[in-house]
C-alpha cells in the first residue's frame, strides 16, 4: 500500500493505492511531515485532481478499486454515471441499482465512499434538492458542487 498526501485547494487529501489501483482518496486533517515519495499512479491522480480543481477536467481516468460490499460497489458504480455538474437524489441512485426503496442504504454507501471527489458522492442530494450529509462536511460538498457549476475551461 502506498500513501500520498497533497494540499488541495479544498484542504489536505490523502490518496492510497494498492496493486496499481487507487483505493482511497479522503479529506484529512493535515499533511504529515516526512511522507514518502509519490508513485506514478498517485502523481497522475494528483495531476488529474489539479485539473479538476482548475475547471479543466470533468471526468477522471484512473484505475479504481474501492473496498466495499456488493451493494456499496453497485452504488459507487452508479455515482460514476452522474454527469459532471449534475446531481441525483438518493432515491434516484437506489432505483438505478435496482433497489428503489433503499435510499437510506444508498446514503450509508455514499457515507462510506472511500474515493471522495473521483467517485462523486458529493453529487447526491436530498429528494428536494437540499444538501444532505457528506463525509467531508456540507461546506466541502457545497464547494465541490459550486466548482462544477462553473463552465469548464
Q: Which residues are catalytic?
A: 121
Burial class (CB in 10 A: 0-12, 13-18, 19+), 26: middle
Compute the distance between CA of residue 149 and CA of residue 143 in angstroms, rounded to an integer.
10
Compute the distance between CA of residue 79 and CA of residue 87 in angstroms, rounded to an integer.
10
Compute the distance between CA of residue 54 and CA of residue 50 in angstroms, rounded to an integer.
6
Amino acid at each position: 500500500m502506498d500513501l500520498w498526501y497533497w494540499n488541495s485547494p479544498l484542504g489536505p487529501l490523502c490518496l492510497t493505492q494498492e496493486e496499481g489501483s487507487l483505493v482511497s482518496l479522503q479529506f484529512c486533517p493535515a499533511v504529515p511531515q516526512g511522507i514518502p515519495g509519490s508513485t506514478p499512479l498517485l502523481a497522475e491522480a494528483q495531476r488529474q485532481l489539479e485539473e479538476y480543481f482548475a475547471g479543466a477536467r470533468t471526468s477522471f481516468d484512473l484505475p479504481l478499486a474501492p473496498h466495499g460490499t456488493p451493494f456499496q460497489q453497485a452504488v459507487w458504480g452508479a455515482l460514476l454515471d452522474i454527469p459532471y455538474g449534475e446531481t441525483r437524489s438518493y432515491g434516484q441512485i437506489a432505483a438505478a441499482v435496482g433497489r428503489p426503496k433503499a435510499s437510506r442504504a444508498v446514503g450509508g454507501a455514499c457515507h462510506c465512499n472511500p474515493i471522495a471527489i473521483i467517485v462523486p458522492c458529493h453529487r447526491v442530494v436530498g429528494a428536494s434538492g437540499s444538501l444532505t450529509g457528506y463525509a467531508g462536511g456540507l461546506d466541502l460538498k457545497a464547494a465541490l458542487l459550486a466548482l462544477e457549476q462553473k463552465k469548464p475551461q
